Every structure is written in structure tokens, then in C-alpha cells.
Structure 1
Amino acid sequence: MKFTRKTFVAAGSAFAIAALVTACGGSGQVGQSNDSGGQPAQNNKKLTLIPGVQAEPFYISMQCGAEAEAKKLGYELNTSAPQKFDAAMQTEKVNALGSAPPAGLLIAPTDDTAMLAPIQQVKNRGTKIVEVDTALKDTGVAVSSISSNNTEGGKLAAQTLAKLVGDKPGSVLVLDTIAGTSTTNARAKGFEDELKNFPNLKSAGVQFTQNEPDQAASKVTAALASTPDLVGIFATNLNTGEGAATGLRNAGKIGQVNLVGFDASPSEVEGLRKGEYQGLIAQDPASIGQQGVQQAVAALEGKPVQRNITAALHSITKDNMDANQQYFYKQQC
């Protein structure tokens, strides 16, 4: 629900409105707006996490890490996730914070440009903004940005795939999500750049799937028909990976074309164990959520804040997966 802030509200009325919003289940945040920009109340211990999409193990793992750290530091964290990785849907979640903004907002922008205006509006109300996983092009909005080095992740994926393929020559397809998604676009670029270091491998190009598994499956089906020497596929996230595995399964090419995915969701880990994937590049989303809360709280309490933080990445294959179980993503906290 979106609320309209009056030009001037007396302190007592503002408190009553904030209490009413909370009681009615509006945004679930306790705050206070005023005529100087809607600053959250000084004793506001509310944080909000708006991830890229709901029910995705990467973001669930991030939420688990953030919730645990918030509780440890004496704050309460509420999560509000869009149904799809979509800027319009995420904007609705941001706008729903209304005139009772949280003290801190942890957000994974679904578009590095389109999400600028709604996030800026929340910042203008006094909320501290921390970017988790993805980031805006405008670096002046967030106090801190925590993410994996996605370019390096793409390079690690190329190195992993090259090791799996060996000396065999052939083409490699990259499946990306949506143009304008900072993380996956960086992974694709890092992969393409690193692939040039392996003369037996050539790029079959980058194709966008709109983060839909069925589109990824269709792209793989088409690539298998048009590129007979296809020896590898790099899928830049969970949905593209699952779609790519489906496309290979439908074509009877499981194990014949090496599939390297990004992330380590339960379905991807099971796929690696069964031989549907040959490699995974795992992030550490719980650590990203944990550090996101730490930076938000530091900013709120006037302590030093680190503007950019890089989380670790890990190359996982069937041979080393049992030794890397701590990096497998969760389905629930």
C-alpha cells in the first residue's frame, strides 16, 4: 500500500498514524514522517530487505544471514520480495514502504537504472540504503554495496569449463538473464573475456533469457541445432541453469555438453550430483546478508562504513562437492 505524506503533521498525529499503519499491516515498519523529509524515528530499529525475487534459494540464504545478524545486533528485519525478478514489481515493494520508512533498506536492485528513482525516494525520507548482490549505476545512493566480484566469477566459470573440456575444440554458449542486470551481465562479460585465453574454445555468443527457465531451454535447443560443435554452456544464474539442463535433457545431450552454472541452489547441487551440471560457481549469500546488516547498522549508529565489500566465490565440481557443502544454498532458515 502506498501512503501520501502531508505537508505538515503534528508530532502526536504522526505517531498515531505510524501506529495505525503498523496495526493494519501496511509496510510493517514503525517510522515517523515530518515536514523536513520523512526521517525515520530516531529509535527506529526496523530494517527491510527487498531481494530480487521471492522463493529463490540464493535470496533465502541471504535473508537467513541478514535475519540472524539483525537479531544479534538488536534490530528487526522484515523481508518483502517481488514475485518475479522485475523492476516494476520491485518498485511496488519499495513504494509500499510509504511514509513509514525503515531505518535501513537492504535491496538487490533488479535494474541498475530503473530502480534509481524509487530507491532515491526512500533515501530522501532518511533511510540508509545498502545494496546487496546487485547495484545501481549511480554510486551516490547507497552507503555500502556488498556483492560477489561477478566479473571474476565469470572468469572462474570459464576456467572451470576449460578444465572440464580439456583440449577438445568447440563452441561455448553463454546464457544471461536480462540486459541491465549488473551481476549477471558482469558474469557474462568476465566469462567471454577469459574464454579468449583458451584457443581451442570459441564463443557462440551471449543470449538473454529474461530469467525464464523455459526461454533458456529453448535457447539451448536452438543452439544445439545451429552449432554442432557446442561443447559447453555457461548459465549465469539459477533459472538459466535449470532451463539449460532441461534443454540438454530434452535433446539427450546431458554429459555430452558441459554445463557450468552460477550459484549452488538445492536443485543445482542435485543436478551436479546426477551429472546434469559439470560445474557450479557458488557465492556466499548468507555472508552478503550478514555484512549488509552490519553496514546498515554501522551507518545508523554513526560508525565507519565500508563502501564496497566483495564476497568470496567457489568453483565446485562433482569431485570436490562434498568438501564444499557449506556453500550450498538454503530453502528455508
Structure 2
Amino acid sequence: MMLRKFAAAVLAGTVLAAAPIAGALAQEKPQIAVLLFSRGFEFMVALDQGAQAEAEKLGVDITVLDGQSNTEVQTRQIEDLLVSGVDAIVISPNNSEEIVPAVRKANEANVPVVAVDGVVGEGADVVSYVGFDNAAGGATAADYLAGLGDISEVLELQGALGAYHAQKRGGGFNDAAKGKFEVLSRPAEWTAENAQAITADVLTANPDVDGIFTHNDEMIRGVLAGLRQIDKAAKVGEEGHVVIVGIDGTPLALQRIRDGEQDGTVNQDPFEMGALAVRSAVAALNGETVPPQQLLPATMVTKENVDDPDLWGNRFEP
């Protein structure tokens, strides 16, 4: 089944459909700002593209800002936007808790805020959280590994400890793995550099590890380098191959699957995520009721469906 059909079924019809701006809003052309936590990831660039395409469709002006993986930068951005008179804010927070005071200022100014791809912590209000079902993503990866039938010990390379994505993905993965295989969890802070060092160290000390799960696809670059470092870089189907699964569905991950370097990834669609976040902000400005949480589904990608044209990694153009 094509992924668009999956996306259409998100939350059993609670996802907002595109609609024109109503009444006075259509005449004033609302100003919406999208604050990315960082443009250093292809996923965020695709989310940006999805948001801009939807804004054009709905007839609103959009400004996209790069948070540079820094909460202080995002805080200043929100403060400047409130001074400039922005109508709504869409934010992918660098840190869920640290951004609370800035979002609270938007609340006080009656500027609706939509969180996308990451939640805003307690103490501030958002119209909606638009994201990926991270717990289901982790569970999907664990189910795939368990379904192979011969996986006994898996290295889990975690994102930043305390980060919403890492907690949810790790929780879903470990819950689904119980009774199926042993999990060795190590914090790698989302980076390929950390993943390389940890992979080499852990597999040297634990040669029975036969699977690796990473909280994002970016870390798999480091995983492969670490495996090469210790002469364990066998491809899919070769003797000694270590099964590798990530999350995101990036273009590089899809190519690695084609090349036999990566076994699978759990897809999440940033194009739809960005579009839905903008759609939700516009709906809030129109006075419409917006679901408080809108989660896109987790879909497993392997060599069997890696060429599906609906996968965002196959549609992405830098």
C-alpha cells in the first residue's frame, strides 16, 4: 500500500484537511513563522519544504528560521517575532523544557503555537502537537528484528538522553523487545561520530551482538564506520552481517538499503508533518477546533518496498 494511504488514515480522520483562509484572515494574509530546531538534517529541510508548500496553497505568508540546535536562539526568535506582530508560530523545539518560557510569552500575546516533531514541556500551551508516533516507531523496529528469528543481542544507539524523541523511541523499542532479544543501550546523542566510537567499543567487548538499532538514520553512517574499524562490515546476506535498523527514512538510508549496507528503516514523513503543522496553525487562526495531538504512522521500509515513490526519501530534493 502506498504511504499516502497510510497518512490519510492518521488518527482515524482527526487530521485537518486543507482549507482556504476564512473571512478577514484571507484579506490580511496572516504571517506564520516556522522555527526549525536545525536545518542540519535532511528531515528538517524536507519539513521546511512541506510547510512552505502548504502555506502557498493556503495563501499565507511564511517565514522559516533555523534554530541552530540552540534554545537561546529559538527563544530570541520567538521574542523578535512577537515584537514584529507574527500571527502564529510553528516550532520544532530544540529542547522541550527549555523553550517553555518563550512559548509562554506567545501564549500571553495570544499568538497560537503549534509544536511539530517535538513537544513543548509543561507550563506552556500549544494548539496542537504534530509529529510522528515515536513509540510505535521504536516498536516497529523491534518487531522487525524479532521477526528475523535469529537475533539474540541488539545494540541500541540512543538519541540525547531526556529528549522526547529518544525517550519515546527507546521506550517503544525496549517494550517490544522484552522476551525476544537482549538490548544493550548506549547514548550516542544523535551523532554519527559518537555512534562510530560506541559501535566499535561495544562490538569488540560483546562479539555476540548481531543487531543494531539507532534512534535516527544519521547515526548509521557512524555505525558502518565503526564496523569497518573492527572488520565487521559484512553486507546483507554475507557471513557475519550485523543487522542494522534506523528511524527516519532519509534518502541516504534508502540508498544504503538498496546497497545492502542497512537492513531497514522506520519511515516518518516530514513533508506531511510540515504541511499538517501549517494547516493546524491556519485552522487555529480561523477559530476552528484543532486536535491536540496529531501523529503520523510508523511504516517499516526494507529492500521489498524501498523504491516506493511515496517514500519521502525518494521525493526529497535538496
TM bracket (short chain): 0.7 to 0.9
The corresponding residue for 1:33 is none
Find 1:195's aligned residue among 168, 173, 177. Answer: 177
Aligned partner of 2:164: which letter?
Answer: S
Matches within 5 A, 1:243-262: 243-254=222-233, 255=235, 256-262=241-247
Deviation for aligned residue 1:92: 4.1
Q: 1:124 to 1:238 in 2, by over 3 A?
A: farther
Q: Distance in 2 between matches of 1:130 and 1:329?
A: 27
Q: Distance in 1 between matches of 2:125 and 2:314?
A: 29
Deviation for aligned residue 1:283: 0.3
Matched, 1:240 2:240: no
The corresponding residue for 2:200 is 221
Q: Could you list the per-position Cα deviations for residues 196-235 of structure 1 after superposition, in whole angstroms to 9, with x for gaps in the alignment?
A: 141xx1111x222222210111111111111111011111
The runs of at least 4 aligned residues of structure 1 exceeding 4 Å deviation read none
Matches within 5 A, 1:1-333: 43=28, 45-83=30-68, 85-97=69-81, 99-138=83-122, 140-164=124-148, 166-168=149-151, 170-198=152-180, 201-204=181-184, 206-254=185-233, 255=235, 256-323=241-308, 325-328=310-313, 331-332=316-317
The corresponding residue for 2:21 is none
Aligned partner of 2:150: which letter?
Answer: D
Q: 1:98 to 1:298 in 2, by over 3 A?
A: closer
Aligned partner of 2:224: which letter?
Answer: A
Q: TM-score, normalised by structure 1?
A: 0.80
Aligned partner of 1:156: which letter?
Answer: T
Deviation for aligned residue 1:119: 2.0
Aligned partner of 1:125: which letter?
Answer: A
Aligned partner of 1:167: which letter?
Answer: D
User: Match of 1:253, SS?
Assistant: coil
Q: Distance in 2 between matches of 1:101 and 1:259?
A: 47
Q: Distance in 2 between matches of 1:325 and 1:177?
A: 27
Aligned partner of 2:182: which letter?
Answer: K
User: Match of 2:183, SS?
Assistant: strand
Q: TM-score, normalised by structure 2?
A: 0.83
Aligned partner of 1:126: which letter?
Answer: N
Q: Could you list the per-position Cα deviations for residues 246-287 of structure 1 after superposition, in whole angstroms to 9, with x for gaps in the alignment?
A: 222333323311110101112111111112210100001111
Q: Which has the higher contact order (CA 8 A, sep 6+)?
A: 2
Aligned partner of 2:292: which letter?
Answer: R
Q: Distance in 2 between matches of 1:236 and 1:86?
A: 20
Q: Distance in 2 between matches of 1:179 and 1:95?
A: 28
Q: 1:310 to 1:156 in 2, by over 3 A?
A: same
CA RMSD of aligned residues (A): 2.1
Q: 1:128 to 1:44 in 2, by over 3 A?
A: farther
Q: Distance in 1 between matches of 2:246 and 2:73?
A: 26
Q: Distance in 1 between matches of 2:62 and 2:41?
A: 18
Q: Could you list the per-position Cα deviations for residues 24-64 of structure 1 after superposition, in whole angstroms to 9, with x for gaps in the alignment?
A: xxxxxxxxxxxxxxxxxx93611111122114221122112
User: Match of 1:293, SS?
Assistant: helix
Aligned partner of 1:211: which letter?
Answer: W
Deviation for aligned residue 1:329: 6.1
Q: Distance in 2 between matches of 1:133 and 1:212?
A: 18
Q: Distance in 2 between matches of 1:118 and 1:289?
A: 21
The corresponding residue for 2:9 is none
User: Match of 1:151, SS?
Assistant: helix
Q: Could you list the per-position Cα deviations for residues 99-156 of structure 1 after superposition, in whole angstroms to 9, with x for gaps in the alignment?
A: 1142111111121211111222233223210011110232751011111111111000
Q: Say which one has the larger Rg.
A: 1
